[in-house]
Structure 1
């Protein structure tokens, strides 16, 4: 079996993940020395407070996800 590139997986699921409430971005990062798909949210909530369809999946194909709270994102002027 050929491993699929993490960028390909990120692109494949980006629109779906970006459609979840509170999600502001999707990227690639590292956790415990392994590549993961990062999901950036304005605020983290316990799964018990979310509807099942609003929970970020624990993994996307063979790559784990890592949800990171980054607050509200705003454009900055130079």
Structure 2
């Protein structure tokens, strides 16, 4: 099993308890709008919050067990019921 998967499984429940976190996964890291080849633990948030407004316990670390994290703003998830049904 890939290291990224192991790390995600280990930290998934904790990450989902953090403020504004609405999802987690694994994906290629994006830096300054460019996709780079490294896989990362991707943390989906409703909006980014300045570090000065977060407690140390609520911050998403830059890496987890040697695997980089990538925080991506996705906004509020919405359930789109009856998609494709007539």
* TM-score, normalization by structure 2: 0.82
**Deviation of the 1:74 alpha carbon:** 1.3
The match for 2:32 is none
How many residues of Structure 1 are paired with residues of Structure 2 in the alignment? 76
Which structure has the bigger radius of gyration?
2
Question: 1:34 and 2:32 equivalent?
Answer: no
Moved over 2 A (4+): none
Distance 2:47 2:38 in 1: 24
Structure 2, unaligned runs of 5 or more? 30-35
> What SS class does the counterpart of residue 9 from structure 1 fall into?
helix
> What SS class does the counterpart of residue 33 from structure 1 fall into?
strand
Two-structure CA RMSD over aligned residues (Å):
1.4
* TM-score, normalization by structure 1: 0.90
Structure 1, unaligned runs of 5 or more? none
1:25-71 CA deviation, whole Å, 9 max, x = no partner?
Answer: 01001122100000000000111111111100110111000001100
